[in-house]
């Protein structure tokens, strides 16, 4: 730009040459203004990409936590089933004791059948409630997992879009002829996000 100013001050130039110099100066001024806008847009896109990457990592961690919680609840339910079976076995053994050993405390056959029926009813109720609760928790967690996975896919799509936009900006920047010596910082940022010319 300074060289053009010096040439413009040269009184030996013809009118056509002076007009060409003025036009070249105008083009360079516009190009410099455009490059500043591109640099600002590039910085904003780079920051946006970093924010999207951080948000994606956060959702990935949340997905992992939900999967761990599902495993924990499944283990707790399995332990509850085992406890029910242990209680059933203990009660069955108690009912099978010799009636002569505790005649005053023994139950008649009708009472035993009623007790067995009551125990079976309670067992089924507990199992049904456990399955319903487990099904509800599983359904809720699966919805959250699907939402997290959908959000991760959306973030990945946005990141890819940002990468393409950043590459387009770099190509436009290069077309101005002022991109022969890119700053190391910009090169490192592009490599960090997998963007190459």
Q: How far is CA 95 from CA 16, 98, 99, 119, 155, in A?
A: 117, 9, 9, 12, 62
Report DSSP letters for 98-147, one per residue: -TTTTTTT---HHHHHHHHHHHHHHHHHHHHHHHHHHHHHHHHHHHHHHH
Task: List pLDDT tens digits, range 183-197.
Answer: 444 544 444 445 444
Distance between CA 164 and CA 38 in Å, rounded? 14
**Phi, psi at 144, each rounded to 5°:** -65, -40
Q: Is residue 139 part of a domain?
A: yes
Looking at residue 179, what is its pLDDT? Answer: 46
Looking at residue 6, what is its pLDDT? Answer: 52
Looking at residue 120, what is its pLDDT? Answer: 77
Looking at residue 95, what is its pLDDT? Answer: 64
Q: Rounded to 5, what percent of the chain is helix, strand, coil?
A: 85, 0, 15
Task: List pLDDT tens digits, range 96-133.
Answer: 665 545 444 555 777 777 777 777 777 777 777 777 77
Looking at residue 189, what is its pLDDT? Answer: 47
Expressed as residue numbers, the domain containing 131 is 2-96+106-192
Q: Is the pLDDT of residue 17 over 60?
A: yes
The arithmetic mean of pLDDT across residues 2-24, rounded, is 62
The arithmetic mean of pLDDT across residues 34-45, rounded, is 78
Task: List pLDDT tens digits, range 67-84.
Answer: 777 777 777 777 777 777
Asked whether 187 and 193 are in contact (CB, 8 A), the reply is no
Looking at residue 106, what is its pLDDT? Answer: 57
The arithmetic mean of pLDDT across residues 90-98, rounded, is 67
Q: Is residue 101 part of a domain?
A: no
Copy the structure tokens of residue 180: 């022969």
| Closest residue by Cα to residue 137 from 62, 84, 72, 63 | 72
Distance between CA 2 and CA 5 in Å, rounded? 5
Q: What is the pTM (predicted TM-score) of this model?
A: 0.37
Query: Into how many domains does the chain fold?
Result: 1
Q: Is residue 123 part of a domain?
A: yes
Task: List pLDDT tens digits, range 141-182.
Answer: 777 777 777 877 787 787 788 778 777 777 776 766 544 444
The arithmetic mean of pLDDT across residues 15-37, rounded, is 75
Distance between CA 125 and CA 84 in Å, rounded? 12
Give the chain's radius of gyration (CA, Å): 38
Q: Is residue 197 part of a domain?
A: no
């Amino acid at each position: 730009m300074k060289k053009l100013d010096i040439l413009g001050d040269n009184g030996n130039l013809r009118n056509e040459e002076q007009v060409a110099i003025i036009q070249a100066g105008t083009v360079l001024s516009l190009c410099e203004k455009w490059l500043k806008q591109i640099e600002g847009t590039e910085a904003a896109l780079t920051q946006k990409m970093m924010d999207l990457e951080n948000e994606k990592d956060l959702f990935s961690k949340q997905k992992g936590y939900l999967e761990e919680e599902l495993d924990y609840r499944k283990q707790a339910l399995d332990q509850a089933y085992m406890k029910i079976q242990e209680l059933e076995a203990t009660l069955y053994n108690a009912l099978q004791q010799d009636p002569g050993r505790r005649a005053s405390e023994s139950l008649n056959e009708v009472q035993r059948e009623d007790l067995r029926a009551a125990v079976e009813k309670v067992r089924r109720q507990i199992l049904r409630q456990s399955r319903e609760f487990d099904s509800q928790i599983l359904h809720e967690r699966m919805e959250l997992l699907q939402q997290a996975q959908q959000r991760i896919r959306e973030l990945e799509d946005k990141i890819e879009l940002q990468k393409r936009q950043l590459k387009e900006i770099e190509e436009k920047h290069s077309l101005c002829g002022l991109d022969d010596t890119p700053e190391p910082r910009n090169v490192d940022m592009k490599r960090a996000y997998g963007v190459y010319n």
